[in-house]
């Protein structure tokens, strides 16, 4: 299901943008713009795949914990916190596409040793590009995951009513609770 949605949405974006560009711009300009169609297609596919896979979590919810990591309502979950976790994870997947898509061409065109090596031997282009994509993915994945903290926080007044009047171990009302956003 998620794979079908991701591939279908990516194809729709690619064909839609491709059609728009080819109708709106001259053939020369359209040719130069078509190389950018892959980026929004990848963003949509990656994000939608993540959302579809994780969306059942919104219905089941996630547990809320206090600042010490103690479950504040054992066997209870928050759908609001789950939705926030799924959305932040989905957004991090969208951000992940940027370094993978944009950095390899920039590095290959700006570093003289790489540029010269490819000019002398064009067959080096594929392995160098592959290596750079892997390196950018290796750097981009932890960076995109780190944009949103692993433990998200939610103000008690933004959570479900069952969390509104809970007291901490000192007898004071909680103002903020925490949830694991997932990966």
In this predicted model, what pLDDT tens digit does every residue of 109-148 receive, in sequence order?
888 888 899 889 999 989 999 999 999 999 999 998 888 8
- Tokens representing 28 are 């020369």
Average pLDDT, the chain: 90
The whole-angstrom separation of Cα 139 and Cα 130 is: 14
pLDDT for res 148: 87
Per-residue confidence band for 24, with pLDDT thresholds at 50, 70 and 90: very high
Q: Name the pLDDT band for 21 (thresholds 50, 70, 90).
A: very high
pTM value is 0.81
Burial state string for 102-123 with b = 16 or more CB within 10 A and e = fewer than 16: ebbeebbeeeeebeeebeeeee
């Amino acid at each position: 299901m998620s794979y079908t949605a991701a591939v279908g949405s990516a194809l729709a974006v690619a064909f839609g943008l491709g059609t728009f560009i080819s109708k709106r711009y001259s053939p020369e300009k359209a040719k130069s713009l078509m190389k950018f169609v892959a980026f929004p297609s990848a963003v949509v596919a990656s994000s939608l795949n993540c959302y579809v896979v994780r969306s059942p979590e919104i219905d089941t919810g996630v547990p809320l914990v206090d600042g010490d990591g103690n479950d504040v309502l054992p066997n209870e979950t928050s759908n609001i916190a789950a939705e926030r976790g799924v959305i932040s994870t989905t957004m991090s997947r969208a951000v992940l596409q940027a370094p993978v898509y944009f950095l390899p061409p920039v590095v290959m065109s700006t570093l003289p040793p790489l540029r010269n090596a490819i000019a002398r031997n064009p067959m080096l282009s594929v392995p160098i590009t592959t290596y750079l994509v892997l390196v950018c993915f290796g750097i981009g994945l932890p960076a995109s995951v780190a944009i949103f903290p692993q433990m998200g926080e939610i103000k008690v007044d933004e959570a479900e009513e069952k969390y509104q009047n809970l007291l901490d171990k000192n007898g004071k009302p909680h103002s903020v609770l925490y949830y694991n956003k997932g990966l």
